[in-house]
Amino acid sequence: MIKIANVSKHYGSFQVLKDCTTSVSKGEVIVVCGPSGSGKSTLIKCVNGLEPFQSGEIVVNGISVGDPKTNLSKLRAQVGMVFQNFELFPHMSITQNLAIAQVKVLKRSQDEAMDKAQADKFPGQLSGGQQQRVAIARALAMDPICMLFDEPTSALDPEMVNEVLDVMTELAQEGMTMMCVTHEMGFAKRVANRVIFMDQGAIVEDDSKETFFANPRSERAQHFLAKILHH
């Protein structure tokens, strides 16, 4: 479903991604973790072309993301994405947030789009957890072939983390193909098929979750796990 091959990216002389290679099969759930600044958010944003990359290739559902001839908008309409800061549109009601891209991008009728949800509140009136769940619903309303999550719970108060993770777990169990950048190791243990560990722009580990949590190969991953699994 998603193939990432030898992808590198620079900001000037600073290399954010170093020769990253991995793949996600249909129905697989991949968790990407690593210290901040390791390039995990950048990598996931390359998958739907929100971040350009200079070398390597990413193929999503048979379509090359880096190819200048690719209609990126069309590809993105099929790939759901959820952001750290929700990024709901604050000037639109929840209903409008859910309907806008269905109507304007997929050309569905207003009625058909509204069918999926009805809520007259505005994003500012919801809690962070509710906003993030709306953001997930907004992405799902497009009937995506896979979902990308960029630290979906990092901006949430602790008591709201679980309501978002529950939705993601349910989604994973329904067979959605997912690539999630997250520090929630409990979520990774429960639903991930594989865990990717990144450090300084490179993919250091790419293992089944059992291997990753039981005996990570690299010292860097051992350190990381020791730190975040402590509590």
Partner 1 sequence: MTYEFDWSSIPGALPFLWDGMKISLVITAQAVVIGIVWGTLLAMMRLSSVKPLSWFAAGYVNLFRAVPLVMVLLWFFLIVPEFVGQLFNIPKGTDLRLSSAMAGFALFEAAYYSEIIRAGIQSVPKGQIAAASALGMNYAQAMRLVVLPQAFRNMVPLLLTQAIILFQDTSLVYVSALADFFGAAYKVGDRDGRLVELLLFAGAVYFVICFSASQIVKRLQKKYHPA
Q: Which residues bind partner 1 (CB under 8 A)?
A: 45, 48, 50, 72-74, 76-81, 83, 85, 87-91, 100-101, 104-106, 135, 138-139, 142
Residue pair 152/182 in contact by the 8 Å Cβ criterion:
yes
Closer by beta carbon to partner 1, 96 or else 211: 96
Closer by beta carbon to partner 1, 87 or else 207: 87
CA distance 227 to 133: 29
Closer by beta carbon to partner 1, 136 or else 188: 136
Shortest Cβ distance from residue 129 to partner 1 (Å)?
18
Shortest Cβ distance from residue 78 to partner 1 (Å)?
8
Shortest Cβ distance from residue 167 to partner 1 (Å)?
18
Closer by beta carbon to partner 1, 88 or else 94: 88
Shortest Cβ distance from residue 143 to partner 1 (Å)?
11
Shortest Cβ distance from residue 126 to partner 1 (Å)?
16
Closer by beta carbon to partner 1, 142 or else 168: 142
